[in-house]
């Protein structure tokens, strides 16, 4: 490793880390203002002009607040929990390209770890480790609400990891690569009609819903459901350790939004403005701005969903994953594999997605699905269970 490579890597890490921290601080302000707008009330608007210094005041409050550690907790694991949550979220960001990697100047890189050919596998492996922070925090707190919250989180993450991973298999099959940059360039070279949002809309829907559950965002934030679990896994946390959990959550959300923009919306490519062969002055900067704009739009969509859709019950959460998303993801993979094997036209893929979605809707509304000699009754009992009859 040359010293130039080492120096550029350090600078890239510093810029990415500083930018990420500042972005998270002001995204929290944006979400608070958006929540106030939806609920017809004032948001934070007292600290600085229009409340723009509120994130700095919040940061100072977390730093100066008394750090309370209850005497009945396992102190080592209690401190380790939020640290793991932040570390795994930051580590996942290492392979995310935040600009045109192949067209960057020699003294600059738009990705911390370039040339990672198994990028998708890496990011799913690292992202799935984040639940350890939640489980350790809940267990080490020695509190029944925290323990229940962490158990809910583990069941939720394990369930939604499956459709999340299955949803991108179609994208990987069509690109024949696990590299995020290769997937982005595959779409950019085909123009706007080559974006995966048009060819595989069902995969996008499954990926986005599963990603919301992975990041514990409403309507899937059952691990910290205040009506039943007080604060859930972070009931016993305060000051900076409490802030670290939410730092990790927001970092995870930003990573997911980058993935959504790169996997399904063409990354930095945009018609007439930022094409694969654009070489005008400032083209590289425009591509970075295009990608960041797409990411910001997806983040705002996630915020709108949080403040408009009510929370699921836990049995509904499990039914959605195991009876809805996983079967649809499996059928979507089958359609993509068949189309690729027999060289079907690209327009057959969205038709296949539509057919699977309609079939799933008809099965869900009819309430029953017959497999061999067994009938699965989707209509819920008063307890919310799904029944299987012979």
Instruction: Look at residues 12, 38, 64 and tell me which one is the last residue of a structural domain.
Output: 64
> Do residues 102 and 19 both lie within one domain?
no
Contacts of 77 (CB under 8 A, 6+ apart): 136, 137, 139, 140
Can you tell me whether residue 81 is helix, strand or coil? helix
Q: Of 109-113, 275-279, 357-361, which one has max mean pLDDT?
A: 357-361
Q: Is the pLDDT of residue 382 over 60?
A: no
Supply the range of the domain harboring residue 3: 1-64
User: Which residues 6+ apart lie within 8 Å of 14 measured at CB?
Assistant: none
Give the pLDDT of residue 316.
Answer: 83
pTM for the full predicted model: 0.87
pLDDT above 90: residue 98: no
Q: Tell whether the torsion through CA atoms of 140, 145, 147 and 149 is positive or negative.
A: negative
The structural domain count of the chain equals 2
The answer to whether residues 289 and 259 touch, using CB atoms and an 8 Å cutoff, is no
On the question of pLDDT at 74 being above 60, the answer is yes
Beta bridge pairs of residue 371: 374
Write down the residue that tokens 């990415």 correspond to: 16
d(CA 58, CA 75): 26
* Beta carbons of 123 and 89 less than 8 angstroms apart: no
**DSSP-assigned beta bridge partners for residue 375:** 370, 389
Same domain, 207 and 89: yes
Whether 141 and 270 share a structural domain: yes
Max mean pLDDT among 8-22, 131-145, 327-341 falls in 327-341
Contact yes or no for 356/344 (Cβ under 8 A)? no
Q: Is residue 13 part of a domain?
A: yes
Domain closes at, from 14, 37, 64: 64
Is the domain of 15 the same as that of 31?
Answer: yes
Cα–Cα distance list, 57 to 14, 48, 163, 250, 297 (Å): 23, 10, 40, 18, 26
Beta strands per DSSP E along the chain: 368-371, 374-377, 387-389
Q: How many residues does the chain have?
A: 390
Instruction: Please check whether residue 370 lies inside any domain of the structure.
Output: no
List all residues 6 or more positions away from 285 whose beta carbon is below 8 Å from its beta carbon: none
Could you tell me which residues come within 8 angstroms of residue 335 by beta carbon, excluding any fewer than 6 positions away? 170, 348, 349, 352, 353, 356
Residues 168 and 44 in one domain: no
Q: Which tens digit of pLDDT belongs to each residue from 192-242?
A: 888 999 988 999 999 999 988 888 777 887 777 766 767 778 888 888 888
What is residue 204's predicted lDDT score, i.e. its pLDDT? 93
Asked if residue 212 is part of any domain, the answer here is yes
50 shares its domain with 159: no
The C-alpha atoms of residue 299 and residue 281 are separated, in whole angstroms, by 29
DSSP state of 324: I
Q: What is the pLDDT of residue 330?
A: 93
Same domain, 48 and 196: no
**Tens digits of per-residue pLDDT, 130-187?**
888 888 888 888 888 888 888 888 888 888 889 998 999 989 988 888 888 888 888 9
What 3-state class would DSSP assign to 368? strand
Picking from 42, 64, 86, the residue at the C-terminal end of a domain is 64
82 vs 69: CA distance, rounded Å: 13
220, 170, 250: which is closest to 321 by C-alpha? 220
Residue 297 has pLDDT above 90, yes or no: yes
Is 380 among the domain residues? no
23 and 73 fall within a common domain: no
* Beta-carbon contacts of residue 239 (< 8 Å; ≥ 6 apart): 62, 65, 66, 67, 68
The residue among 379 and 66 whose pLDDT is bigger is: 66
In a domain, 177, yes or no: yes
Nearest residue to 116 via CA among 136, 93, 139, 133:
93
Q: What are phi and psi of 375, to 5 degrees?
A: -115, 120
Q: Examine the domain organization and report whether 148 and 269 are in the same domain.
A: yes
DSSP 313: P
Q: How far is CA 161 from CA 91, 285, 329, in A?
A: 18, 34, 12
Domain check: are 47 and 193 in the same one? no
Q: For 268-290, what is the mean pLDDT?
A: 85
Which pLDDT value is given to residue 333?
93
- Return d(Cα 372, Cα 375) in angstroms, integer: 8
Identify the three-state secondary structure at position 387: strand
Query: Do 228 and 79 share a structural domain?
Result: yes
Secondary structure (3-state) at 377 = strand
Give me the phi and psi of 384, to 5 degrees please: 90, 15
Neighbours of 345 (CB within 10 A): 8
Whether residues 60 and 74 share a domain: the answer is no
Residue 373 in domain: no
Instruction: Please check whether residue 379 lies inside any domain of the structure.
Output: no
Least trusted range by pLDDT, from 26-35, 141-150, 300-309, 373-382: 373-382
- What pLDDT score was predicted for residue 381? 55
Whether residue 57 is contained in a domain is answered as yes
Token pair in block for residue 167: 């949803």
């Amino acid at each position: 490793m040359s010293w130039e490579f080492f120096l550029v890597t350090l600078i890239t890490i510093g810029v990415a880390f500083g930018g990420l921290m500042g972005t998270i601080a002001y995204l929290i302000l944006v979400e608070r203002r958006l929540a106030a707008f939806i609920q017809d009330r004032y948001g934070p608007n007292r600290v600085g002009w229009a409340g723009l210094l509120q994130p700095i005041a919040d940061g100072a409050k977390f730093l100066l607040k008394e750090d309370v550690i209850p005497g009945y907790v396992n102190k080592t694991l209690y401190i380790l929990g939020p640290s793991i949550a932040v570390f795994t979220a930051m580590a996942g960001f290492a392979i995310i390209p935040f600009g045109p990697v192949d067209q960057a100047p020699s003294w600059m890189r738009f990705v911390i770890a370039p040339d990672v050919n198994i990028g998708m596998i890496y990011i799913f492996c690292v992202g799935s480790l984040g639940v350890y922070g939640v489980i350790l925090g809940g267990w080490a707190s020695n509190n029944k609400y925290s323990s229940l919250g962490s158990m809910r989180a583990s069941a939720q993450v394990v369930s939604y990891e499956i459709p999340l991973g299955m949803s991108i298999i179609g994208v990987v099959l069509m690109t024949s690569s696990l590299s995020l940059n290769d997937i982005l360039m595959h779409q950019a070279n085909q123009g706007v009609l080559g974006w995966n949002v048009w060819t595989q809309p069902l995969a996008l829907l499954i990926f986005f819903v599963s990603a919301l559950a992975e990041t514990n965002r409403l309507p899937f934030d059952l691990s910290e459901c205040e009506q039943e679990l007080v604060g859930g896994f972070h009931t016993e946390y305060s000051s900076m350790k409490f802030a670290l959990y939410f730092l990790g959550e927001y970092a995870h959300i930003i990573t997911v939004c980058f993935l959504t923009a790169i996997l399904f919306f063409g990354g930095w490519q945009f018609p007439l403005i930022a094409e694969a062969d654009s070489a005008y002055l400032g083209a590289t900067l425009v591509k970075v701005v295009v990608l960041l704009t797409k990411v910001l739009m997806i983040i705002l969509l996630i915020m709108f969903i949080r403040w408009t859709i009510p929370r699921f019950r836990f049995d509904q959460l499990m039914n959605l994953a195991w009876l809805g998303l996983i079967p649809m993801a499996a059928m979507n993979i089958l359609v993509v594999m068949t189309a690729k094997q027999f060289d079907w036209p690209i327009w057959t893929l969205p038709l296949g997605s539509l057919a699977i979605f309609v079939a799933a809707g008809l099965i869900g509304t009819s309430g029953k699905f017959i497999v061999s000699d067994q009938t699965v009754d989707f209509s819920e009992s008063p307890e919310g269970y799904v029944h299987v009859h012979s």
